[in-house]
Amino acid sequence: METQNNLPVEGEKLLPPGIPSEKQQSWGVLISIVVIVLMIVIGAFYAWGKRIAQENALIAPIEAQ
């Protein structure tokens, strides 16, 4: 029979339920930063593509003349 030891390991703090540990918090911060950077990059490509489409729309009528 195996008994579970729910006591904190030396150096760890006993946190109330629902509060993530420091390691979990650091992963949360890293994931948040990655998501924000990806949103900025996707938005930049969207805006860049829109600008290129507008320039091509202006160039096409001039070439047709």
Q: Taking 70 as the threshold, does the pLDDT of residue 25 lie above it?
A: yes
Domain-located, residue 9: no
Q: How far apart are CA 59 and CA 27, in angstroms?
A: 48
Which domain range does residue 62 map to?
38-65
Domain-located, residue 50: yes
Give the pLDDT confidence of 30-62 residue by residue, as tens digits: 999 999 999 999 999 999 999 998 888 877 676
- Close Cβ partners of 28 (under 8 Å, ≥ 6 residues apart): 20
How many distinct structural domains can be found in the chain? 1
- The pLDDT of residue 48: 95
Q: How confident is the model at residue 11 (pLDDT cuts 50, 70, 90)?
A: low
Structure tokens at 29: 């911060």
Q: How far from 42 is each of 22, 35, 47, 50, 56, CA to CA, in Å?
A: 30, 11, 9, 12, 21
Q: How far from 6 is each of 9, 12, 22, 61, CA to CA, in Å?
A: 9, 12, 18, 74
Q: Is the pTM of this model over 0.75?
A: no
